[in-house]
Amino acid sequence: MDDWFHRIVGSRHEHAKNWKQRTGRKVVGYFCAYVPEELICATGALPVRVIGSLRPTELAEAHIPSMYCSFCRDVLAEGLSGAYDYLDGVVMAKSCIHLEHAFECWGLNIPAAFKYYLPMPWVLDSPEARKYYLAELGRFKEKLEDWSGKPITDDALGQSIGMYNRYRQSMHRLYDLRKTDLPLVSGAEVSEIVLASMLSDKEEFMPHLERAIQELPSSPNRPKAGARLMVAGGENYDLELFRVIESLGANVVIDELCMGSRYFWTTIPSPVKGEGKGEGAAQDRLEALADRYLCRPPCPAKATPSPRYEHLLGLVKDFKAQGVLLIQQKFCSPHALDIPDLMRFLKEHGVPSYTFEFDITLAKGQLRTRTEAFLEMLELEPV
């Protein structure tokens, strides 16, 4: 596989700094996949996902409780360490209380020229949700224009939407390589590509993605036959999780994760209304953005469990997954409350599931033991 993805993930801060120096443009960190990157990109800035370093989080624990989820503590500790000193702005969309608190502490302790909290509906399918969210997107657009010192033109927003649509469509093609009876690419490889896409310029990322889609099926390191698993849950940027699972002979053929398929699954309907110039074009594009982020596969921090469960079950069927490994960051309340209901739902539909909770550092031995137990429970012979 193209080593470019590995370099981006392994040296994300250096990559962003080099990009900033090379282009003379700004870099904005975002804390949640519900932040509409298209608007940030339309200003000419680079949106990058804020993640931690998977190291001890003592710096953060002076500011937020130690029983907050490990993701929030890791992210805040990384910021407090100075690793993100190159960011020109930070943006947060309404998420869980833990991450929102981490964002507030970031703003109080880490200087940034631009800091914005984007409200959005909790109940995504309520009658007033679209109207409310559309108004908030309009305010976000205005604040970005004030900060950047230039308007977000119809053309700039249209081009940004088009680029993200192309990216999402290509990511679907990458994921489809695992639909075959013998997957053409491993789950660990795909997960690294997804993470690299959240840390880099999409225009620069796309040629590497297209090359990977062409070359990976003929790689000599293609996956071997084994049980087909889905990994579902919340935030995870520790790629060792996938490597450990697949080292046991299983294949992660699909995920339902915030830093996986949820990030790119839903595209914006094309052509977008008002695709040309003129009155109403920008508003039409904002409406398209609103529809995309309201209708994307939701996370448990949003009050819409049924559509998400049905979406997850659809992925299980489409990718012929034989079981679901449910992962949870320790102390993550939304997923802790969600997993029992989700397990019941999967059981009702004949899909075996198993849970694994982890903290900052991945307990590889425990993960290996539990995954082996799950594979035995599936009572499947390698195909």
pLDDT single digits (tens) 337-367: 899 999 999 999 999 999 998 887 778 888 9
Helices (H), the chain: 3-10, 12-23, 37-42, 58-61, 70-80, 97-109, 129-148, 154-176, 187-197, 202-215, 240-247, 261-264, 281-295, 305-318, 333-348, 364-378
Residue 189: its pLDDT value, please? 95
pLDDT at residue 185, rounded to an integer: 95
d(CA 264, CA 91): 19
3-148 to CATH, choices 3.40.605.10, 3.40.50.11890, 3.90.180.10, 3.40.640.10: 3.40.50.11890
With 0-12 / 13-18 / 19 or more C-beta atoms within 10 angstroms meaning exposed / middle / buried, residue 111 is exposed
Instruction: Compute the average pLDDT of residues 162-190.
Output: 96
Q: List the structure tokens of 40.
A: 């940030």
| pLDDT reported for residue 270 | 57
Average pLDDT over residues 105-125: 92
CATH architecture of 161-266+298-378: 3-Layer(aba) Sandwich (3.40)
pLDDT of residue 22: 97
Rounded to whole angstroms, how far apart are CA atoms 190 and 196? 10
pLDDT (average), residues 15-32: 97
Which residue, 101, 19, 38, 48, is CA-closest to 288? 38
Specify the pLDDT at position 225. Answer: 87
Query: What pLDDT does 361 receive?
Result: 74
> For residue 133, what pLDDT band results from cuts at 50, 70 and 90?
very high
- Position 190 pLDDT exceeds 80: yes
Would you state the pLDDT for residue 217? 86
Q: Write down the pLDDT at residue 281.
A: 62
Identical fold at 3-148 and 161-266+298-378?
yes
Closest Cα partner for 33 from 258, 299, 366, 312? Answer: 258
pLDDT confidence band for 183 (50 / 70 / 90) = very high
Give the other-Cβ count within 10 Å of 354's Cβ: 18
Query: What is the spatial distance between Cα 9 and Cα 219, in angstroms, rounded to a whole number?
Result: 21
**Would you call 232 helix, strand, or coil by DSSP?**
strand
Q: How far apart are CA 28 and CA 49, in angstroms?
A: 9
Question: What are the tokens at 343?
Answer: 């397990």
Give the residue, 274 or 95, on which the prediction is more confident: 95
Once rounded to an integer, what is the mean pLDDT over residues 72-92?
96
Considering the chain, what is the average pLDDT of its residues?
Answer: 91
- For position 304, what pLDDT does the model report? 65
The reported pLDDT for the residue numbered 104 is: 95
Residue extents of the structural domains in the chain: 3-148, 161-266+298-378
Bridge pairing between strands 228-233 and 323-329: parallel
Residue with tokens 């079981």: 323
User: pLDDT tens for residues 263-308?
Assistant: 999 998 754 544 445 445 667 899 999 999 999 998 888 866 568 8
pLDDT band at 122, cuts 50/70/90?
Answer: confident
Q: So what's the pLDDT on residue 274?
A: 46
Contact 253, 228 (CB under 8 A): yes
Q: Which tokens hold the place of 37?
A: 């990157």
Residue 112: per-residue pLDDT: 87
Say how far apart CA 287 and CA 289 lie, in whole Å: 5
243: confidence class by pLDDT, cuts 50, 70, 90? very high
